[in-house]
Amino acid sequence: MEVVKVDLREEIDNSYDITIGRGLLEGLAMELKKNPANKFVIITDSNIAGTYGKRLLNDLKKRNIGAHLINFPAGEKSKTRKTKEKIENEMLKLALGRDACIISLGGGVAGDIAGFAAATYMRGIPYIQVPTTLLAMVDSSIGGKVAVDTMHAKNAIGSFYQPKKVVVDLNFLKTLPKKELVNGLAELIKHALIKDRGFFHFIEKNIGGILACDADILKTAIKRSCEIKADIVMQDEKEKGIRRILNYGHTIGHAIESSLGYKISHGNAIAIGMGYAAKLSAKLGFLHEGSVIRQNNLLEYIGLPHKLSHHKLKPRKILEHIQYDKKITNGRINFVLLNSIGDAFVSDDVAIEDIKNILEER
């Protein structure tokens, strides 16, 4: 036997900056003029294509930068292989080559589809994240996880593909509906719960200001949330270890989303997931009961659910969907639990039976 070795130990620098401020959209076109890309394609959803999308497109054109805009129907239901294919076909029709750069403008849905399209178009072209929802600003635009949903499981088809930069313009939040703000707060609170007790105190103390969109309080909270996410991603880009704690509330949350055909918002679903994950953490002897109540009180205060109540979902159905998402060995799975507020860990030994019991408590 002969052996031909393919030695591929790569060292790549995937570093990028997250800039946070007000009015950054206005300066973006000017900044992109310095970018080596020849052509930009803005990918955005139908709700904001006519406002922010057009504004950015015109800014780019005014500076003689080649630019196109592609939009898809707003909403999680668009996060599919089909939408990605449509976008790719449009890009091919525009004869965009490897020198093109994608600008993802929108919430988590735009970011995920545009990022995944960037990952595979011509075997990968650069992309820039311009998140316009709170959820995308503090979570989904950072870390390079890009994917689409399938009927079986959320984010089932995707890739790790880092953006070249993330531009967080807080002015977008001025037009964001309250329910979308609350949706993003679920992830922001998650970051505090898994990593930073002090930040959890800050949120509790300033929740009034956050809900009222107080500029300084929001900026502080968003920056801290981005830092926590970035810090975890830096330690474990491909989610082989520590990054898994970011999935706190997500095992049950994702199962609820796919069971309900994505008719529940991601924030609501993971808030319910965190409710049960905290309860389970207490039941297994890690988390103090008082901390479960504290977490759930904060969720409740901002209008997020922490249990299933009115959703007509049987625990059995949720467990079925967990099986699509997770490897089950001898009736046990990996599950993110809390030791205390601000300290999460991954247990590789949580019994499915215990999850079922917690879900049945309602």
Q: What residues line the site for ligand ADP (CB under 6 A)?
A: 45, 47-48, 74-76, 106-110, 132-133, 135-136, 172, 175-176, 180, 183, 266
Sheet holding 17-21, edge to edge: 17-21, 165-169, 127-131, 100-106, 39-45, 66-72
Are 215 and 171 spatial neighbours (Cβ–Cβ below 8 Å)? no
Could you tell me the smallest distance in angstroms from the CB atom of residue 52 to ligand ADP? 7
Active site residue 145: yes
The question of whether 300 is a catalytic residue gets the answer no
Catalytic residue check, 266: yes
Out of 5, 34, 123, 310, the active site residue is 123
Q: Which residue is catalytic, options 79, 190, 254, 306?
A: 254
Please, what is the minimum distance in Å from the beta carbon of residue 354 to ligand ADP? 30
* Residue closer to ligand ADP, measured from CB, 33 or 82: 82
Q: Which of 133, 82, 72, 81 is nearest to 108 (CA)?
A: 133
Q: Please, what is the end-to-end C-alpha distance for the chain in angstroms?
A: 61
Residue 281 and residue 339: Cα distance in Å, rounded? 7
Q: Which is nearer to ligand ADP, 138 or 228 (CB)?
A: 138
Q: Distance of CA 221 to CAs 34, 185, 225, 265, Å?
A: 31, 10, 6, 22
Shortest Cβ distance from residue 294 to ligand ADP (Å)?
Answer: 25
Residue 328 pairs in a beta bridge with: none
Three-class DSSP category at 284: coil
Q: Say if residues 171 and 255 touch (Cβ distance below 8 Å).
A: no
> Which is nearer to ligand ADP, 81 or 356 (by Cβ)?
81
Phi and psi angles of residue 190, each rounded to the nearest 5 degrees, phi first: -55, -45
Q: How far is the CB of 246 from ligand ADP (least distance, A)?
A: 15
Considering Cα of 137, then 62, then 30, then 161, what sign does the dihedral take? Answer: positive
| 254 tagged catalytic | yes
Residue in 90, 204, 227, 239 annotated catalytic: 239
- Which residue is closest to ligand ADP by CB? 107
- Catalytic one of 154, 195, 266, 321: 266
Min CB(282)–ligand ADP separation in Å:
29
Annotated active-site residue in 79, 84, 145, 154: 145
- Per the annotation, the verdict on 243 as an active-site residue is yes
Catalytic positions: 123, 145, 187, 229, 239, 243, 247, 250, 254, 266
